[in-house]
Copies of this chain bind each other. A is one copy, B any other.
Amino acid sequence: MKIAILGFGTVGSGVYDIITNQTSPLLANIKVAKILIRKGKEKKLPIMVDDITDIVNDPEIALVVESMGGLHPAYEYIKLALTHGKHVVTANKAVLARNIAEFEALAKENGVFLSFEASTAGGIPWIASVEKARRIDAVSRFYGILNGTTNYILDSMDEREEDFADALAKAQELGYAEADPSADIDGVDVKNKVVISCAIAFNSVVDIDSFPCFGIRNIDKRDIAYFKRENRIVKLIGEASRFGDKYEAFVMPNAFTRDAMEATVRRNLNIVTLCGSTIGELKFYGQGAGKFPTANAVIQDILDIFSEKTEYTIDVKRKIDYDDTQSKNNYVLRTDRALTNPLFRAVIPFEGLYYHHADGLTIREMRGLAEQAGEADKRFFIIKQADF
């Protein structure tokens, strides 16, 4: 079976390397026929091309791996591949989260598959596991550490009592964070993964702009110290729950107790949990990024498609509505000055900052509090006291 790879960065070259190195006899049936690189770049391999039409018009190419990243031209190229009857396997969460319904519809229309195991939780077989759980169970909820960059930063801040800026700089130095780290540290990357996971877990399309997304940019070393004093550790969590035809979701830092499994997830590793009606809670842990783990996930998708194990698992016509009044949780709002509100059961000063504890709030109530704080303090943040 011949495939093409779009983009030859970390993921694309990883896919090429694994297939070429033939770590398993099953890979002998897959041949990388063409690799798309940017116009003007040096063609280091004879199979490199710089025109997408060379790939989509090649009748021998059955499947296209999109590993360019970014919204454009990934969006156009994925559509082009699908409409030309090529299966598409992508690791690109950004383009997927915004266009999953359109892509899925196009794939079905053209009798091909769109697969994206590598887009969410990297090498962890998360997408396939949720699809599998759903064959028997209603999946009511999922949550997890879905971003390695922010976990690396938070882990450094916790372990070495570093400032956010120092931890970020070190993550950049080690290649765990990009030069422009916004998508990671503002939670956008996790938000994309929550949208993709919702599609699979809830068999529905959700609106990416509907639910709150908080990152870790405003987390201070004093915050880490405050929660450490409470025997907790801060992790950035993406989470969604389904309530009938409604769903709730958010991206938010969570303060886990030290004996929670999430608390033990170090460096840039990921963990994701699903809750099913008969299976209970399942957790999956592993490398959420990196050349070979991500490429491994791409190749798992390719093997499934070529061995006809892939199925259509998203009902793109089914939309569920966001509702932020369903679940109640405990939150802490941190600001530079003390706020008064009857919803706070305690306001605790710590090293010049104020920690406002509010228990049993809905997301809507919590956001209301945050907006109130926002006027007083642009650097507020909310943290969930996670007791999942």
Query: With the chains together, A309 CA to B135 CA distance in Å?
Result: 14
A355 interface residue (CB < 8 Å to B): no
**A18 with B286: in contact, given A123-B279, A129-B125, A263-B264 (CB under 8 Å)?**
no
Interface status of A295 (Cβ within 8 A of chain B): yes
Output the least CB separation between A18 and chain B (Å): 6
Within 8 A of B (CB), among A240-288: 259-261, 263-266, 271, 276-287
Contact pattern, A 122-166, Cβ under 8 Å of B = 1, otherwise 0: 011100110010111110000000000000000000000000000
Given A261-B264, A264-B264, A295-B278, A136-B24 contact (CB < 8 Å): yes
Q: Does A386 contact B (CB under 8 A)?
A: no
List the B side residues contacting A216 at CB < 8 Å.
none
A interface size (C-beta, 8 A): 45
Structural contact, B136 and A278, CB atoms closer than 8 A: no
Please report the C-alpha to C-alpha distance between residue A128 and residue B131 in the assembled complex, in whole angstroms: 14
In the complex, chain B residues whose CB is within 8 Å of the CB of A259: 264, 266
Residue of B nearest to A274 (CB): B286
Does A169 sit within 8 A of B, measured CB to CB? Answer: no
Contact A18 B278 (CB under 8 A): yes
The reply on A23 being an interface residue by CB < 8 A is yes
Known A23-B138, A283-B284; further 18 A-B contacts with Cβ < 8 A: A18-B136, A23-B278, A24-B136, A24-B137, A24-B138, A123-B279, A124-B282, A125-B132, A132-B300, A135-B300, A136-B299, A261-B265, A276-B296, A278-B295, A279-B287, A280-B286, A281-B285, A284-B285
